[in-house]
Amino acid sequence: MALKLDINGKTYQVDVEVDMPLLWVLRDELAMTSVKYGCGIAQCGACTVYIDGQPVRSCAIAASQVEGAITTIEDRSNTTLKIVQQAWIEHQVAQCGYCQSGQIMAAAALLDINPSPSNQDIDAYMSANLCRCGTYPRIRQAIKVAASKLADESI
């Protein structure tokens, strides 16, 4: 099936099976390997992307079902994503790093809906994304720092 996908502001054409998950289109057809395969059942969050600004598990949606703009961690125009990525680096969040693109996408989505989250808010929202290395305290700290930097930018 021939598809046109809007990804990070650019249009891509792919010819794939109708039921091919978006994850595999991004990774295998378009070489966007920051989107990770973790579980294949939408439980871990490693494959998180945005579709029209909403976080979606790309392993659980067929590319042919996508209607709207897709954003991956490579999108350089998203200010929240850039600030969260900077906070991740500053606080050395990643250990193995495998889940981190999904973690960063989820953290940016959280800050878009709650610009000043409490520790409880962060824990509740981020619990849907798994980190096998257990860097949750650093994830929480990086989100707090990113929230503060975003607040400073909006002044």
Domain definitions of the chain by residue range: 2-71, 79-153
Q: Mean pLDDT in the chain?
A: 94
Q: What is the mean pLDDT of residues 53-64?
A: 96
Q: What is the C-alpha separation between 73 and 82, in angstroms, rounded?
A: 9
* Per-residue pLDDT tens over the stretch 3-56: 999 999 999 999 999 999 999 999 999 999 999 999 999 999 999 999 999 999
Model-level pTM? 0.91
Q: Is the dihedral of CA 113, 48, 148, 69 positive or negative?
A: negative
User: Is 116 a residue whose pLDDT tops 90?
Assistant: yes
Beginning with the edge strand found earlier in the chain, give each strand of the sheet holding 70-71 in spatial order.
Answer: 10-15, 2-7, 70-71, 48-51, 54-57
User: CATH fold of 2-71, please?
Assistant: Ubiquitin-like (UB roll) (3.10.20)
Token couple for 108? 């940016």
User: CATH fold of 79-153, please?
Assistant: DNA polymerase; domain 1 (1.10.150)
Q: What is the pLDDT of residue 155?
A: 60
